[in-house]
Structure 1
């Protein structure tokens, strides 16, 4: 056990985490020249294109230092705020963390939030200054920032470059000397922490785990504590670039288990595996059910593809257990699903994977968060879809989820960032200068306000310099109303949204104006209205296309023209009663980009 080192890498998006991991793998000869490619551990095309890690990975390396063989387990973590629970479980499986900071950009919000997670789990932190080869690198300034944040001395910070391979041997040496070996009791009953799971189309779900106490052998009967289900360990092994089967995995080591599990829902990240013959009575602390934060409807463009979409969603769920969905129907869009996502990035990724991996073109409705309505009769009702909101007369009050947001920006942009947050109903809680020109602002604000376009706007007003991170802090009472959009007095349920009363007039007016531009003209007039309950707050109309029926009358009596016009008017009236309005896909998307 004393020659095992388990560590993870903490970094903000684009600070060079995956590239540095590639250099470590090459230096320890885990990956041969033939297998080598950029971002070895990111195996989805999407991850490579966007340069983000979506699914965390784990890989084992062997390294000989001063004649002694060491085993390194690198547990890679996703960097984005949406996946923070997965990050916390990966961190719980480690004893050390490499803190990677871009020498040209300095410390950013997600670095700090993941760093705090690592400190809570008492990990040994090794700071690394990456991208030292860039002409814009500011090593001295960034070193000051790191020391202000975690203390320590300047000599502890390792200069490195993932591109040129500078400093890789120093990093490996620091891992051996500074990261403690795992602690645990090999004789105790088995306790293993699941930190990830992947789906293999031949073998079912494989769970990745770290053994805290005891050992796990091939052929053992094991039990997952949180779900209470029992399985046979058909195969256990360690994670090289491909799986390497072993007879047993001992205390402190990281491995995988194949037990023919068909459903991703049965393997929960953070769960504890124990042995049925000699069970451990206590689970490893920190397990949570992953809760979706953002909800949106996903509908097939063609209603005949509904079954195909259901099949695609089920197959996606095998890879991604945090996706939750249930069937729902809409008058405007037909049959589809109400889906819960961890956040906006997660929603974009699911949408893109549906299109790429399953060739499904889908319509996504306006995303919203879940609210709690307190009614006079039924008590609390959880509302995930605005159209589920009970009648206004029955509601006492509505509560919405609030978040605590941490924004780190240059001091030049404090004004615009503050006004953006206040416009989104945020309240400033704290403002602190990390260095002379970097400020951390802490806000409390409603989650529903950041779902639309908050992140894009924040990046725009700060010229890309602000970084953003948040966590939920519970529900608070708010004055919310349901805004309905009506076309020819028929409500379009897919466009309704729950919104704060103070913003409703402005928002309703803007949506009506936008829809007027986007809905194509018909033979009859289309009236677009925004309403709160029975009260109409905004209206626009799309003029009818009109054929000139009087063209054949030249001269003559006016009554002949009037007769033809009256006839046309009756026809238009009848057409408006039977005609229905098709809403183009662009209209649903435009609501998100109103500004």
Structure 2
């Protein structure tokens, strides 16, 4: 068991792409924990998807051994994501720490998620070390970033460290500040065990691994533990630490971060944020639970084959072990069969879950159009939640509908202000206020319908500002609205997967856009295909996909024209039969494109 006075638990928080994972790489390199021959960038980003996209999706923990003089210190680092869709990972990480490094890209300055993460750290009473990264870049503006940190967060200039993780500058100084400025863990080594379960993952050979931070007491191999929220007891089979690979230990003591294996097989037995204590002499005071984030975006996930449904169910249960912000419930959607209605924190979160399910579990999936959660008051007084188009009652049964609104903070250069304001107005947004961040950046606050921003709003503000704007938002409540359901018909057959809910004012323009897009994306068939989009049974947009022509008379070199007529008539009858009994082939990219509209 380690001396808690020489333990520091800290995380790195920042806006997306400000250099968190690269800084973590340099810390590992300086501590000498990675074999030079095996070293690769983004060491802690172990998921293939993270490395491909260049973003952190899951928070990762690693123990660093660092010497200051003759003293050896244990530094437990947690690398966190920066995208707003993965805020829950940051929330969990902060609960396991006493301090945080607030990282700001010298070329970008303070952005929306920088502000959000700073206040999250303050709410959790963390000591914050401000650091400016990427000082080696040609377009780095160190003075601007320093001024912003001082003006917005109240830091003093001499408190701000400067680093270049790429060139290794300033790395040792930051780790020395972690030791001298961040507090050691509090807690009593002799008190009953009290630890927080902050993450979990599924090991195909051993079942579920629990990630924990010990606040009081210690946990040993062979001891009996109680999960207080779930009221379940287990015997500890193995404990250990992250180096970043797993390394066994005999025990984890007060202040330590590590993992625990106790032969749990059922994902339903796990509750992230649970307090782990001894079942023999339990603590009387459980640790505070996490602030739970509600799903913002909902969609249906179905398999292309009904036979894969049990595999999908098993995959979703395992995936949720490492992503508790993802929620699901069984669903049945007519032509698509059985699947799951799933809730996500945002569209990127939804896309990541889809890719993980397809890659890690070899599933071929179909997603329905994403929606937010509407509240519908029926004429009989009943209020229901509507998360998908097929749950929306007929208009004659509805008294009023409310949609979720968010307060959105957009950080943009001065020259992007007018374009951003025009975009927000087109999304039914209401301007609230505007603050200057230094001399050349603005933080503009709008109130917007969530349904208007979850699809492509972030991409559009990035495009309008050449990538220099950023977005953060928080839920503020429900407001009355008027919505309708759009239904797609291919050859007069309703395609449930394409149904979506839109605001009444935008129904016709959206319908036309969908019909035109599908005309482009659906391959031509051997017969003419009609594409129709309707509202409440009334068709408001229509397109036709012309038939693929096949020259059936090519083999007739001259000769009697009646022979050719017979072949043409035969082809015509064949196409009628195909139209009657055949199915239109809709490629997956057509679904994905409509999702983004």
TM-fit CA distance, 1:589: 2.2
In structure 2, how many angstroms separate the alpha carbons of the residues matched to 1:550 and 1:220?
Answer: 83
In structure 2, how many angstroms separate the alpha carbons of the residues matched to 1:575 and 1:131?
Answer: 61
Name the structure 2 match of 1:13.
Answer: 16
SS of residue matched to 2:132: strand
When the two structures are superposed, what TM-score results if normalisation uses the length of structure 2?
Answer: 0.90
TM-fit CA distance, 1:153: 2.0
2:121 is the counterpart of 1:118:
yes
Deviations 1:418-441 (A, max 9, x none): 111221122222211111111011
Deviations 1:45-103 (A, max 9, x none): 22122221111111112222132222211122222211212211211221111111111
Among 64, 68, 74, which residue is 1:65 paired with? 68
Deviations 1:226-264 (A, max 9, x none): 222222222223332233333332222222211111234
2:403 is the counterpart of 1:400:
yes
Q: Any residues of structure 2 matched to 1:189-338 within 5 Å, and which?
A: 189-289=192-292, 291-302=294-305, 304-338=307-341
In structure 2, how many angstroms separate the alpha carbons of the residues matched to 1:45 and 1:2?
Answer: 37
| Cα contact 2:377–2:399 (8 A) shared by 1 | yes
TM-fit CA distance, 1:578: 4.8
Deviations 1:518-543 (A, max 9, x none): 33445654433222213332233345
Among 432, 435, 440, which residue is 2:435 paired with? 432
Kindly tell me: are residues 543 and 214 of structure 1, through their superposed partners in 2, closer, same or farther at Cα, counting changes over 3 Å? Answer: same
Kindly tell me: are residues 324 and 483 of structure 1, through their superposed partners in 2, closer, same or farther at Cα, counting changes over 3 Å? Answer: same
Q: What are the ranges of 5 or more consecutive residues in structure 2 without an aligned counterpart?
A: 559-564
TM-fit CA distance, 1:584: 3.1
TM-fit CA distance, 1:471: 2.1
Among 46, 50, 55, which residue is 1:47 paired with? 50
Name the structure 2 match of 1:557.
Answer: none
Among 133, 136, 144, which residue is 1:133 paired with? 136
2:441 is the counterpart of 1:417:
no
SS of residue matched to 2:390: helix
Among 102, 106, 111, which residue is 1:108 paired with? 111
In structure 2, how many angstroms separate the alpha carbons of the residues matched to 1:26 and 1:89?
Answer: 26
SS of residue matched to 1:369: coil
Kindly tell me: are residues 240 and 563 of structure 1, through their superposed partners in 2, closer, same or farther at Cα, counting changes over 3 Å? Answer: closer
In structure 2, how many angstroms separate the alpha carbons of the residues matched to 1:76 and 1:544?
Answer: 55
In structure 1, how many angstroms separate the alpha carbons of the residues matched to 2:206 and 2:575?
Answer: 63
| Cα contact 2:367–2:497 (8 A) shared by 1 | no
| Cα contact 1:191–1:212 (8 A) shared by 2 | yes
| Cα contact 1:195–1:270 (8 A) shared by 2 | yes
Kindly tell me: are residues 194 and 318 of structure 1, through their superposed partners in 2, closer, same or farther at Cα, counting changes over 3 Å? Answer: closer
2:191 is the counterpart of 1:188:
yes
Kindly tell me: are residues 565 and 406 of structure 1, through their superposed partners in 2, closer, same or farther at Cα, counting changes over 3 Å? Answer: same
Q: Give the count of matched residue pairs.
A: 587
Among 345, 352, 358, which residue is 2:348 paired with? 345
Deviations 1:525-572 (A, max 9, x none): 4433222213332233345568999999x9xxxxxxx99999999998
SS of residue matched to 1:368: coil
2:535 is the counterpart of 1:539:
no
Deviations 1:174-222 (A, max 9, x none): 1111111122233433321222222222222222222223332332222
Name the structure 1 match of 2:562.
Answer: none
In structure 1, how many angstroms separate the alpha carbons of the residues matched to 2:155 and 2:366?
Answer: 52
Among 575, 586, 589, which residue is 1:586 paired with? 589
Deviations 1:278-335 (A, max 9, x none): 2223332242455432222233345554444444444434444444344434445444
Q: CA RMSD in A?
A: 3.0
Among 85, 90, 110, which residue is 2:88 paired with? 85
Kindly tell me: are residues 326 and 545 of structure 1, through their superposed partners in 2, closer, same or farther at Cα, counting changes over 3 Å? Answer: same
Name the structure 1 match of 2:29.
Answer: 26
Kindly tell me: are residues 340 and 167 of structure 1, through their superposed partners in 2, closer, same or farther at Cα, counting changes over 3 Å? Answer: same
Name the structure 1 match of 2:444.
Answer: 441
SS of residue matched to 2:5: coil
Kindly tell me: are residues 508 and 72 of structure 1, through their superposed partners in 2, closer, same or farther at Cα, counting changes over 3 Å? Answer: same
Q: Does 230-239 or 418-427 show the bigger shift?
A: 230-239
TM-fit CA distance, 1:36: 2.8
SS of residue matched to 2:511: helix
2:149 is the counterpart of 1:146:
yes
| Cα contact 1:453–1:592 (8 A) shared by 2 | no
Q: Does 327-336 or 356-365 show the bigger shift?
A: 327-336
Kindly tell me: are residues 567 and 66 of structure 1, through their superposed partners in 2, closer, same or farther at Cα, counting changes over 3 Å? Answer: closer
Among 507, 514, 531, which residue is 1:511 paired with? 514
2:489 is the counterpart of 1:489:
no
Kindly tell me: are residues 187 and 509 of structure 1, through their superposed partners in 2, closer, same or farther at Cα, counting changes over 3 Å? Answer: same
Deviations 1:460-497 (A, max 9, x none): 11110111112222322211111112233332211111
Kindly tell me: are residues 351 and 63 of structure 1, through their superposed partners in 2, closer, same or farther at Cα, counting changes over 3 Å? Answer: same
